[in-house]
Amino acid sequence: MDDGHIHRFEGYRVQHSSVRGPAKGGIRFHPQVSLDEVKALATWMTWKCAVVNIPFGGAKGGITCDPKHMSQGELERMTRRYTSAILPLIGPERDIPAPDVYTNSQTMAWIMDTYSMTKGYPIPGVVTGKPISLGGSLGRNEATGRGVFYTIECACEHLHVPLKGATVAVQGFGNAGSIAAQLLHEAGAKVIAVSDSTGCIYNRNGLNIPELIHMKTLCGHVERFPESEEMAPADLLALDCDILIPAALENTLHAENAAPVRARIIAEAANGPLTPAADRILEKKGAFVIPDILCNAGGVTVSYFEWVQDEQHLFWEAQDIYNRLERVMKTAFRDVLKIHLERNVPMRIAANMLGIGRVAEAVQIRGIYP
């Protein structure tokens, strides 16, 4: 640590499956990181990659720490020490980490550098979510939000809900939530409420999303935005709107607060924002849920594009990446919707059937050896 004392951190890297390709998954720095959480998230990644049909398996990593109370130097030393510990487990053909909660492109640069210096030559493909100058991909930063937008477009088309004029509430105005809100705003939807960790704002006629993103970038919060009124963050979930985007933390909709939800479409930009009890309540109400392993898979899809570009040493234009992402996300949505309609199961079950089925098929065809 900066004051000279040695602090011991607990870190994890879990590989759930590599049957369809190298393991893939983020690394998070958070006080609540535990082995059980990392195991669950690694499993989630396996199904997510299979749903969008990219040739990766699932992995996840994390360090139990509080990065908000650590200096840049402390974070770098901890990241490099963690990288050296998991170095035998990772690699562009084996397991490819990425950013997650409280990690970013700088974190990935430290991991890539530590790995490369140990091996003796530059290996940009060992991580994704890197800075552009180190082999990162255009379009990676907004990939999750774009994926959310593309799946909402598909859901609106399926349900005959015009996107232009549709009302939207966004819980969690971070990277995914703000990008999805921006794209929906550009498509003519009205984003009437957003919340972040500091508070919640509302305007029935629609918020000016570009200006709100600018203010959030400068000030770090959405509170006191002009032409908006404050409201309790819990009330956002019960707003009368067409589309609700939970883009914050897991388990935000549960047995106690799911019943008042009035949105027609619920797009899970976060991982696991609905508990099983909330799922059952919303299914009875007739809400259309776009499950997380489909809805927020844009991030891992563009991570795949970044890895391909690194391995080929050939980089693509931003519009090419957007077009490829749109094609992947909308194909995956149609695949899940087909199972949902033909088998008469909820969208979440349909997504799980598709993802688990693809992994099971790969295991069956490969066989088990030795």
Catalytic residue set? 60
Of 148, 167, 169, 336, the closest CA to residue 253 belongs to 169
d(CA 57, CA 206): 40
- The secondary structure of residue 264, as a DSSP letter, is S
d(CA 208, CA 213): 9
The edge-to-edge listing of strands for the beta sheet with 57-64 is 10-17, 57-64, 23-30, 95-99
> Which residue type, as a one-letter code, is found at position 127?
V
d(CA 71, CA 57): 33
- Find all residues with CB under 8 Å of 152, minimum gap 6, and list them: 163, 180, 184, 243, 245, 265, 267, 290
d(CA 61, CA 13): 4
What's the Cα-to-Cα distance from 82 to each of 15, 70, 297, 345, rounded to whole Å? 16, 15, 26, 42
Token reading at 361: 């098929």
Q: For the beta carbon of residue 139, count every other beta carbon within 10 angstroms.
A: 21
Q: Where are the alpha helices (H) located in 266-312, listed in sequence order? A: 276-285, 292-295, 298-312
Instruction: Give the torsion through C-alpha atoms of 323, 325, 329, 334, to 10 deg.
Output: 30
- The DSSP secondary structure of 27-82, one letter per residue, reads EEEETT--HHHHHHHHHHHHHHHHHTT-S-EEEEEEEE--GGGS-HHHHHHHHHHH
Of 49, 56, 188, 219, the closest CA to residue 201 belongs to 219
Is cis: bond before 370, omega within 30 of 0?
A: yes
